Structure 1
Amino acid sequence: MKRHHRWASWVVLASAVLLLSGCTEINQPITEESTGIWNEFFVYPLSWLIIQIAGMFSESYGLAIVIVTLMIRLVLLPLFIKQTRSSKAMQEIQPELQALREKYSSKDQKTQQQLQQETMQLFQERKVNPLAGCLPIFVQMPILLAFYHAIMRTGEIGNHTFLWFDLGESDPYFILPIVAGITTFLQQRIMMAGNAQQNPQMMMLMYIMPVMIIVFAAYFPAALALYWVTGNIFMIIQALIVKGPSPNKNGAPAKAEGTKK
């Protein structure tokens, strides 16, 4: 299972790099005439939605970005719940997985085959899918990447201001980049609670990602930083509500105060 966690960590990191860097069309404005499946069915509909919502609120494109970000996060909420439940289920069976590893500690091929068979049997008995926590990522990333493109390629956004900053320029006071970095760290800390300490790659990711976000947000248009901050705050609140009590170090749910041992 260490291999699975390592793979999942690198998937998240690679997806984040893709999200931040975009692709070759990132500097091309998105319009109704833009061609290609990516532009026509992913980027332009989100750009259109931002423009329509901004029109409802006196051309406030900053508010439109906040509203569309929240709408997207609400649409993705069922995937997040599924991912969270899968993560909690994996945490709960960690003691049993560790016992199996100790039981079959020998590196010979026959022993390792027995370990794999009993591990799969444990997953079936406890109805746990080790890949279920990763699959939602692959569904979410195209949507989030498309929204990133919509923000960066919608020309109207760059011509407006919101609060203290110009949406088309970087935050002159570096407030948004710092808030984006802090909220990214808090979000990941909540999401990875109980897992990061068991996996060095996840722990490293938890510290690398906020730094990356701060650096990018400091140079990218403030509209993008606003999107990150809004999404992060929503995810923090969402995680606190959905995750519930964290498992203790032994993998079992923590007991409430006053409960008899």
Structure 2
Amino acid sequence: MRKKYVLLFALIGLALLLAGCTEINEPITAESEGIWNTIFVYPLSWVITKIAVFLNNSYGLSIIIVTVLIRLAILPLSVKQIKSSRAMQEIQPKLQELQKKYSSKDANTQQKLQQETMELFQRNGVNPLAGCLPIFVQMPILIAMYHAIMRTTEISNYQFLWFELGSPDYILPFLVGGFTFLQQKLMMSFQNTSTQNPQLAMQMNLMLYMMPIMIGVMTFFFPAALGLYWATGNIFMIFQTLLINKPMMTKTNTGGDKK
């Protein structure tokens, strides 16, 4: 769990480094140079603009549609992440047994622990890297969406619902934080906490409250269009969690009853 968050912050730093290679105040156009602009930022800006024009210049609704399309595109990775996470939970008792068996810190013992741990993962179809795949994909998209919003001049000139898309809003951050908390709480409710070690459970509870606060505070300083992207993504994740986890839980319970 700790490695996952270290990887997350490392990816944020890398994405910010890539994003920093371009001027945030420079409008994005088809003539914008650089790999970051041509592969990530301009295609997103182009799609948002084209959909908005089709919807009578409703850039807010266009951002919602693009967000849903992005989430649908990475849905297979999210399903794989959930399945791998559930499999990891199921083997936690066996994993803890191995850790007790090879509790010595000498090199030979730790090598045996790693070898048997990998064999345990392979027997149960667990891929430790599966949980990181959505992070790898989402982080460049998130930074690119931020650039597309900031550097597409048309977005800042339009209003959606009660807020201006190009300016910070003071209601949207609370909604973003609330939806983030609800989404994480919902995911935790489908996890079998009885198989988790106390340290992991404590880390998850800490992130349950810290992540919504961090994202909510950041939304205060970013254009409302980016907050709309976050809120839409979290609402999508709430429905995704319900649709994916409930059938999996029913299947697991049914299998347990048969036993």
- Equivalence map 1:39-58=2 (5 Å): 39-58=37-56
Q: Which residue of 1 aligns with 2:185?
A: 189
Q: Structure 1 stretch 162-171 or stretch 236-245: which is displaced more? A: 236-245
Q: Which residue of 2 aligns with 1:7?
A: 3
> Percent of aligned pairs with the same residue?
59
- Equivalence map 1:1-261=2 (5 Å): 5-15=1-11, 23=20, 25-171=23-169, 174-192=170-188, 193=191, 194=193, 198-199=199-200, 200-244=202-246, 255=253
TM-score w.r.t. the length of structure 2 is 0.85
Q: Which residue of 2 aligns with 1:250?
A: none
Structure 1 residues 245 and 91: CA distance shift in structure 2, 3 A: farther
Amino acid at match of 2:245: K
Amino acid at match of 1:158: S
CA distance in 2, matches of 1:100, 1:224: 45
CA distance in 1, matches of 2:247, 2:98: 26
Structure 1 residues 13 and 204: CA distance shift in structure 2, 3 A: farther
Amino acid at match of 1:8: K
CA distance in 2, matches of 1:53, 1:143: 18
Q: Offset at 1:113? A: 2.2
The answer to whether the 8 Å contact 2:145/2:226 transfers is no
Q: Offset at 1:244? A: 3.0
TM-score w.r.t. the length of structure 1 is 0.85
Structure 1 residues 167 and 136: CA distance shift in structure 2, 3 A: closer
Write the deviation string for residues 105-157 of structure 1: whole angstroms up to 9, x where unpaired: 22233322222221121112222221222133212322232122211211100
CA distance in 2, matches of 1:196, 1:159: 51
Structure 1 residues 18 and 190: CA distance shift in structure 2, 3 A: farther
Amino acid at match of 1:92: E
Amino acid at match of 1:183: F
Task: Give the RMSD, CA atoms, in angstroms.
Answer: 2.7
Q: Structure 1 stretch 44-53 or stretch 105-114: which is displaced more? A: 105-114
Structure 1 residues 206 and 11: CA distance shift in structure 2, 3 A: farther
CA distance in 2, matches of 1:141, 1:196: 29
How many residues matched?
A: 249
